[in-house]
Amino acid sequence: MKKIYIHFTFILVLGVSIHSSINQDIIEELEIKWWVVPFYVLNNSTKAVQNLKENDLILKINNQPIDNYIIYYRKKIEMEINTVIEPTKKKNQKNKRKLVFLVFDDLATQSLHVKKAKTIAKGIIQKSPPNFDFVALCISRYKGLEYIIGPTGNKELVINQIYDKIKGWAKESQLLNRRGGLRDISKFPGERNYDDGTSYYFRKKKYFISLETLDTLLKVFMGEGKIVYFFTTGIHAGIGRGHDFLQLRDIAQKFNENGSLLFVINPVGVRNISGENAVRYLAKASGGKYFEGTKDSISNRIVEMNRGYYEIAFPDPNDDKRIIDVELLSKKKNMNIYSVRKLSRGKHYLELNETERSLLPLNMIENGYWAKSIYDITYHKLKPDTKDDQHICSIDSIPESFLNHENDIFLIRINP
């Protein structure tokens, strides 16, 4: 019988730890940390600023101006470093990808407008630079946030999958009300079916859950420049105040902290109803921009905006703050900057939801950015053995620091 050797890694994550000692090799990996922030620069005429200079910007981290940073340009890489740091290979910089998430709302957006959204997305994809990798997602009526395709730079494949899998369901039970946005029409006055897919309450709940799921997904790609295009007409803004408004504000904050820049695209055109006011606020609060108008107008403005795309990298401030405040200011009056405003080192383990806890060890294994140095991480290789044609793996002992605590244990198989 041919022997099969499988390499196992055993990860223990102490759920109650905050800042603790880490193995020496892990410390060396995280000793020099850099944060990457995507941003766009437009002039007052909404034209892209393509000749940005270092002295045009002021970068403040935690309200303190810093001079040690690198600017990445869309077409060419220019490194301007004021302090001697460990150099980065230019080859890796040129191959640096930009992740673009295309999120379609098929939950609260009329089917006709979903079709318009797909047309706008097609124009954005076709005219995007070659280093863009796309991820397409859809918020559906019953399943919530659904995966369509990506990350991939194959533009034709992304477009075909978007047109094939996002249909836009007919919403006969919804009418557009100029003052209130989407409302429900019931055969029986006063009837409210909270579990019906056409219920406003059902849609609102699914809408928020899907945005929370999107935030979790974006955390997996910490450390990469991420742009989110959210195609939606919004939901009824009874969400303009009270608990719903606070929930919306919390989502905008999370999008900031995971390093994503959110742009909301309204495929309907120019209107002034409460649902759109809500997503307009979402775009502004997260540091992005709200687009409305004709299909061609939106596509052309986004293509123009992409010409003014930059990324700025700066070293970790090496303090104990879990949230890093980022402020990019222009020294010129005719320049407008759209940028992520906050970054997060990650939550404490007990604050993670079930999905985030499942993704955390995978992110550690892949040397991802999600797992910063706030966790007490211990790595142990299991001892594989074979007995009676069964593979048995064992560990000598659980580390003392993990005893007398409630622990989550993850067993991950890695191909050698």
pLDDT above 70 covers what percent of the chain?
67
**Which residue ranges does the chain devote to CATH 3.40.50.410?**
34-344
Residue 16: pLDDT band (50, 70, 90) is very low
Rounded CA-CA distance 100/116 in Å is 19
Higher pLDDT, 77 or 280: 280
Using an 8 Å Cβ cutoff, are 128 and 150 in contact? no
Q: What stretches of 182-334 show up as alpha helix (H) in DSSP?
A: 200-219, 242-257, 274-285, 295-306
Q: What is the mean pLDDT of residues 253-267?
A: 82
The answer to which of 116-120, 238-242, 289-293, 383-387 has the lowest mean pLDDT is 238-242
Residue 207 has pLDDT above 90, yes or no: no
Q: What pLDDT is stored for residue 9 in this prediction?
A: 41
Residue 80 has pLDDT above 70, yes or no: no
Residue 166 has pLDDT above 50, yes or no: yes
Q: What pLDDT is stored for residue 229 in this prediction?
A: 93
Using an 8 Å Cβ cutoff, are 380 and 395 in contact? yes
Alpha-carbon distances, residue 415 vs 9, 67, 81, 394 (angstroms): 10, 43, 39, 18
**Nearest partner of 296 among 119, 155, 134, 158, judged by Cα:** 119
Q: What pLDDT is stored for residue 104 in this prediction?
A: 93
Q: What pLDDT is stored for residue 148 in this prediction?
A: 92
Q: What pLDDT is stored for residue 414 in this prediction?
A: 66
The answer to which of 86-90, 170-174, 341-345 has the lowest mean pLDDT is 86-90
CATH classification number, 34-344, choose in 3.40.470.10, 3.40.50.1950, 3.30.9.10, 3.40.50.410: 3.40.50.410
Q: Any idea which residue has 């198989």 for tokens?
A: 413
The gap from C-alpha 172 to its chain's centroid, in whole angstroms, comes to 33
Q: What is the mean pLDDT of residues 206-216?
A: 85
Higher pLDDT, 324 or 365: 324
Q: What pLDDT is stored for residue 294 in this prediction?
A: 76
Q: What is the mean pLDDT of residues 274-302?
A: 78
Q: What is the DSSP string of 98-144?
A: EEEEEEEE-SSS-HHHHHHHHHHHHHHHHTS-TTEEEEEEEEETTTE
What is residue 15's DSSP assignment? T
Residue 149: pLDDT band (50, 70, 90) is very high
Q: What pLDDT is stored for residue 272 in this prediction?
A: 52
Average pLDDT taken over every residue of the chain: 71
